């Protein structure tokens, strides 16, 4: 097969069908998100399950998400933390938070999820630390600020996941003026240089085009 976006899409659909299947709560969350005009920038199904499995693998009981959108990734994470676990998720747009609240509650794990409405820069200083996994998927300009908070609110062993690190290869363009690309590249440099983290990153293709995800541990 030629490595075209259509081939990536079909292959991603095969992987999602084979490994995830039909999930009514997640599909209803996406339907609500689309019906309310939110952008289709939630993680792909296979990426949502990757987050879920990472949280289970590290035994996460407290998860922090920065960027709720419509709650799709939040549901994946909340399912991983167990009945006594908690997900704190930060969303800047109150309209998005309301949609997420309804979808998360409908998924039956509402009591595990605390949605904080506000900008990350304002909400993060109000949180109590001890998070076992932090998922950063918000305004890319603030990625280095979010990584700094992830280190502060985590502990040695905390898993940090940073979404959208590939950006269709734009991150290697030194002449870019795109503030989101610059914020992402700065975050990758921070993950490489900052002694609080040990990190890698994987490029991805699939339902979300050509992008990628960084995974780090707080040392």
Taking the complex as a whole, the smallest distance from the CB of residue 118 to ligand DHB amounts, in Å, to 18
Could you say which residues in the range 129-158 bind ligand DHB, by CB under 6 A?
137
Closest CA to 69 of 44, 49, 92: 92
From ligand DHB, Mg ion, none, interface partner of 73 (C-beta below 5 to 8 A by class): none
Residue 163 interacting with ligand DHB (CB under 6 A)? yes
Closest CB to Mg ion: residue number: 163
* Strand partners for 216: 160, 199
Per-residue contact track with Mg ion, 117 to 156, x per CB under 5 A? --------------------x-------------------
| Closest to ligand DHB by CB, 41 or 121 | 41
Both structure tokens of 187? 């975050």
Tallying the residues shown for the chain, one arrives at 219
Both structure tokens of 205? 């293709």
Residue ranges in 20-170 assigned as alpha helix (H): 24-35, 45-57, 72-78, 94-106, 120-123, 143-153
Residue 91 interacting with Mg ion (CB under 5 A)? no
Residue 41 interacting with ligand DHB (CB under 6 A)? yes
The two counts, helices (H) then strands (E), for the chain are 8, 7
Per-residue contact track with Mg ion, 152 to 191, x per CB under 5 A? -----------xx---------------------------
Closest CB to ligand DHB: residue number: 41
Kindly list the strands in the beta sheet with 86-91, ordered across the sheet, starting from the edge strand earlier in the chain: 113-117, 86-91, 62-66, 133-136, 159-163, 209-218, 197-206
Residue 23 interacting with ligand DHB (CB under 6 A)? no
Strands 133-136 and 62-66: parallel
Residue 65 interacting with Mg ion (CB under 5 A)? no
Taking the complex as a whole, the smallest distance from the CB of residue 44 to Mg ion amounts, in Å, to 10
CA geometry: angle at 107 spanning 103 and 112, to 5°? 95
Q: How far apart are CA 62 and CA 84, in angstroms?
A: 9
Which residues contact ligand DHB (rule: CB under 6 A)? 41, 137, 163-164
């Amino acid at each position: 097969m030629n490595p075209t976006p259509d081939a990536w899409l079909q292959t991603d659909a095969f992987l999602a069908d084979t490994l995830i299947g039909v999930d009514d709560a997640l599909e209803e969350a996406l339907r609500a998100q689309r019906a309310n005009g939110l952008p289709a920038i939630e993680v792909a199904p296979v990426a949502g399950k990757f987050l879920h499995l990472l949280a289970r693998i590290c035994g996460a009981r407290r998860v922090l998400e920065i960027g709720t959108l419509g709650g799709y990734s939040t549901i994946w994470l909340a399912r991983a933390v167990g009945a006594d676990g908690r997900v704190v998720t930060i969303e800047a747009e109150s309209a998005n938070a309301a949609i997420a609240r309804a979808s998360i509650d409908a998924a039956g794990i509402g009591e595990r999820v605390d949605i904080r409405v506000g900008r990350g820069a304002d909400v993060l200083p109000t949180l109590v630390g001890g998070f076992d996994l932090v998922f950063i998927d918000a305004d890319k300009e603030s990625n280095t600020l979010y990584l700094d908070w992830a280190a502060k609110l985590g502990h040695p062993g905390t898993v940090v996941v940073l979404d959208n690190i590939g950006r269709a290869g734009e991150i290697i363009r030194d002449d870019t003026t795109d503030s989101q690309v610059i914020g992402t590249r700065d975050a990758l440099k921070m993950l490489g240089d900052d002694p609080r983290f040990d990190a890698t990153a994987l490029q991805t293709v699939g339902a979300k085009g050509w992008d990628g995800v960084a995974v780090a541990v707080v040392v």
